[in-house]
Structure 1
Amino acid sequence: MTGDYDYKLVLLSIVIAFISSMAAFMFTNRVVRNQGRSAKAWMGLGAVAMGSGIWAMHFISILAWSLPTPMESMLDDTVLSWLIAVSVSWLALDIASRPGLKLQMLIVAGVVMGLGISGMHYTGMHAMQMYPEITYNKTLLALSVSIAIAISILALARMLHDHQSRKSSLSSQLYAATIMAGGIACTHFTAMAAVEIPPHVVLTAASTSQPGLFSVIIALGICTLILLAAILTIVDSRHRDKGNWLHADTQDKLSRMSMLDNLTQLPNHRYFQHHLSIGVRRTARLGTALAVAIIKLDNLKLIKQELGQHISDEILRSAAKRIQDTIRGCDMAAYNGSEEFLVLFEDIKHEHDIMPVMERIMQSLNTTFRIDRHDITLEARAGLSLYPKHGDADRLLTYAEAAMHRVQPSDNHGFRLFDDRLEPSSFDLLETRQELRHAIENGEMVLYFEPRMDIIGNTITGLEIQPRWLHPTKGAIPAATFAPMAENIGLIDDINAWVLEQSYRIVNTLRQQRIHVPVYLPLTSMQLRFPDIQRQVAAKLSHFRLPADALILEVAESDFMQQPEHYTDLLKQLPAITLKISLENFGTRFSSLPYIQHLGLKALKLDRSFTHALISNQKTRAIAGAIIELAHTQNLKVAAEQVSNEDERNALLSLECNEIQGFFCANPVHQAQLIEFLMSSKFASRPDKTSPEEIAWSAYAVTADGLTPVR
């Protein structure tokens, strides 16, 4: 028995196959662009829509096939065929969304999917209960299954290619959907051609439904489902595009924000450099000039220490606003960090053009700031450089900084223009500063320990810490040389913090080795000016669980006598203090001796100025004797530094000095060899005496031309 086809319904079935194929590609894109539960939700919706579409195409095609006898379908087999179609679609979406799928797995997946499509078709055909049963032409049946497998492999390969290449244009989807719809149609009609229906066939079971009406309702419902799913994918795509646009806009805002300083809302150093390079090119093209200024707020750090972070921040904001309100419309102000502002002056013809503007800026900064009932006066200084007079953009900031560091109190309004005579030294000084910035990170900062000996027993009674910068080419540079430079560029706090940390760490290591020798650390004038030293010392003692006198801090008399009333309270709060008395300052202003009994000192130390003049000057010897006698009445030991020969040692012995240090006793010891040195000496034997000429490092001094050796 043969049947005829309603070609209108055949065309409708092919259209549904095409729509289902398009849905397959749309849902594949949604799945691969999402993750987690979102991806599973899209996969489930896509499997239902796509599988139902394939299933609907099958039933509409059967409706298009008319037989002489009425056709009836069993509901259970019909539902089973739909479940098979949905499961196969789930498999297709799952495989297409996997990255890096190998060819062997692709072929296996295509075979399984092709068998699933064929199973859906033949299960649907089995729903038509007839007697005798439907038989199939084995050749055409095998051909239909082969077509299903081939089209499945092709469809999966196409979806996987679009996913991996991330190219899924509408034209590409239309092309692939056409091929897939044609393949599904070929599979179906080849399978229908394989059907062999005996003559005079009759139904063997009563229909549980009206197949024609049931199939039409299902087909319309499935098309509606695919349409709704497609609308959801379009809405999701537009939301994602909008999200991408918002993300791009956010990134652009973040990029702009990265060019601004959060506190002052001025451009930062990065943007200033960018704008400067543009300004230099424009200036070169127009034949005009520009200038760069660096403005430093010298006392802002001290204000922060005394009044707190909030006041410091408010001053920075107010200073930024004053600078911004004072400059011209064609100029630009920026915040460089570290209490420094930058100003770019454009459209100038002569250096005198910017002098009035610069004077107004400095006057505005020197005017009293009223912050939270505090009247605050800033100490500001500035340096300027010109383009093209002083070179290219790279040199301008360097020269402006060099000019700023040379501002003198006598300079009008506190700023200075770079002097060409300073050019030879500026880059050498800049190079040294750059190297100093990385000295701690590169492990170039180390501690040396100079032994302090008992003047009678020649045993080691203490160690004095001497920081050194081990420069790769210039040798060991003492702290007296690099500390002023570090203070100028704002690194002295970092270096002092490192020295304090390392000192306590080494003291802790010595005590773990049962070496309980007093260790002395000279404080810099900068550390003494900032009371934060008290908190730092307390924190280190607590961290390493050391006693209060594990590290004895040494203060120079010259620093102490600048503000004796202020520093007396500070030193009383520090756990262990030594005062170093200098002959040059002794008796010139106030004597520090009346303060001795109130400071809770551990010891006194005579500065090298006493030691060097001890033999040749009887007056110096008398003063030294008086200081030693007074210290002894306070139960304080007295040490003398830089003792270099036997005569100086004997003179100090006659004055009953307790301890000495210097080349006569021992060379300073590197921190790495300290424990070995102490263990080998057993704290009893005096190392070989070494002359100053045999010392392992060279001393350097800061001059206008950079670092020069001291001969």
Structure 2
Amino acid sequence: MQGSYDIWLVLLSIGIAVMASYIGLDMASRVNLAKRVHLRQLWLIGGTLSMGCGIWAMHFIGMLAYNLPIPVAYHIPTTLLSLLVANLVSGLTLFMASRKSLGWMKLLLTGTIMGLGIAAMHYVGMSAMQIAPTINYDLPLFSLSLIIAIIAAVAALYLAFSLRDENSPSTIWKKAGSAILMGIAIVGMHFTGMAAAVISPDSICTAAAPEYSGDVLAVIVAICSGLIVAATLLLGMLDARVARQAEKEVRMMTRELRDSEERFRTMTERVRDIFSILSPEGIVKYESPAVMDALGYEPEELIGNNMFELVHPQDNEAVQYQFERVLAGEEMIRPIEFRFRHKNGTWRILEAFARNELANPAVDGIVVHSRDITEHKQSQQTIWNLAHHDALTGLPNRSLLQDRILQAIHQAHREGHKLAVLFLDLDHFKHINDSLGHHVGDALLQVAAQRIESCLREGDTVARLGGDEFVVLLPSFQSDADVVMVADKILEELGKPFEIDGHGLHIGVSIGISQYPRDGKEPGHLMRMADAAMYHAKANGRNNAQFFTEQIDSVARERLQVENGLRLAIQQGELRLYYQPLVDLKTNVVVGMEALIRWEHPERGLLSPGSFVEIAEDTGLISIIGEWILGEACHQAKQWNDQGFALQVAINLSVRQFDSGNLHQTIVHALRQSGLPARQLKLEITESTMISNIEETSQLLERLRSLGIQIAIDDFGTGYSSLSYLKRFPIDTLKIDQSFVRDIGVDTDDEAIVTAIIAVAHSLKMGLVAEGIETERQLDFLRGLGCDIGQGYYFSKPLPPDAFTEFMKNRT
């Protein structure tokens, strides 16, 4: 029995075959490009159904396109079985096309199975036709259809595998062309199989006539399968568009990230700070070139190594703790400082900030920004040392000492033990310093500091307060015997001779001791009590140690009262100047007077200099008092000058005034303010003051003498009486100390000394003043030796200004 084909249905079947082929190629790409497993599975299932239904629809419409002279019905279960076979074949195609690799043998074997599966779908579908007798097949054409099916399957699988990785606009045309070829091949196989069917002329339909005609069924199947195929195709196109847009955005982001990374690298390579990228385990992933200058490593030497292995063991735990906090998402507020091993083995101090950039794909790590602050820390330490240590000896200064005493008090309070403070003052140091100069005194202080340190235990502290004062802190001791042992060691060591700059020197030390908590509970109080005990040691013959007692406390309180009263006296004008006449021994005429200070105390009455000048020297108040004396004495001398008494006023200067640095200006100011001629001013200095700083003192005296001011050495013979110094300094007058004058006529040694001093003064053409003359015998002796001027109670005691005026009037 011969039939005919409906050309429109044939064309429709060809179109569906092409669409199904395109879907197969496109789904292979979707499955392969999907990154997540569940997306791959969804595209595989969806593609299988769409492609399988498309191929089956092509087959079924192709069968409906074949018109027989008899009505034809189809067995539904068998028809559905052919649909199932079509989907299985499609699923196998997409599954194999999504594999990582597909060799030729696997391609041919899989293609053969797929081709036979397609043929099986066709012939199972043909068997669903309910006609009798059954359809026979022409063997050559049947075999050809199988071959076409296998070739079409191999080609489809190859094309699907080859085009799966491409996702560019040009790929669509490649897939379209391939789909047309595949569709024609599948249709060719179908119609070859149809041609192989031999239907008997007397065949009849064995089932009831179908309710719908073949054309209607074809349209229904075409519409249903077309909707499925079109929906899948539309989803694929939308997915492709989204994928292309996403790919474009990814390319843009990649370019931006690449540019950002390039800027980051450029920045890190041009700055001195170190930039590192670490993995969560601390492994170095990147190092900036600055690490070479800072730490000596090439970046490649550190990459791949664990950063924590180069951190100082004592700092490692803190660094890892901070690193873990950054890993947990915490932001660093302050940098962390730690020691890091330099390539040369030394430790450098780094300051670092870390930031978690694990979520940034361009970084993917912990960014550490660090800098070498070793020199900065060393400078800080140097500044701290300068602020808390004595420049000469390197010992702690007063500030650091007070801090350590305070810490020791807190510890002693917690642990219930005692501590001791030892106040040390070197005996006879001032004499050595004044006589031999500051360079010898400084060297002596340095050696003394070393000796004191050698007497202490580990944990004890020795500090220099200034001058020749030291303080020792014993932060703990069991009994007073322990403190005495340390004090005795210091006395012994400082009692040994010192060899300084060729001089064999001998000093001692006076030590005052206070204890916590017995004598005080504050650093300042303990030091004051120890200081008071030290003065008691000096009063007891020097070179001994004394514990603080209540009796000493009363003496210290009295000294403090004098100091405070003296400050008040300066403010309230309680200081007075008395004047003792200077008499020409040849003519018995008053030629001048010495200004002598007194303190008119509101409670204790008139006080002599011996009761407060030493305290004024120790506290520095002597500078203020000395300035007042200069102004007041010059003013008074000018008043007497205006009254017709042209007298020269002699004023004593303290070494503290020389150290102030403004003595010249002070003297010039006093002369200008008073109007007193400079020739009527004589300045008296001691030998020790004169040589305390030889160069500066000599220059200052020369400047003063150039103004017309006379210079006298007071108490000559009691200090370092060097003739070379007399020749070197601009001296006008020598004053013979009253200790030599007092025993004239009693002690031949003193007479010999006075005789020698007068002879020296005459030979150097200097004037002479003998002070302390009290008897006529003393006066006659001095006058007989040619002494120029005399001073003492023989002529007059020191007088207040009004009484001195009367004295002068009476003398006239």
* TM-score (normalizing by structure 1): 0.49
**Largest Rg, 1 or 2:** 2
* TM-score (normalizing by structure 2): 0.44
- The answer to which structure, 1 or 2, has the higher relative contact order (CA under 8 A, 6+ apart) is 1
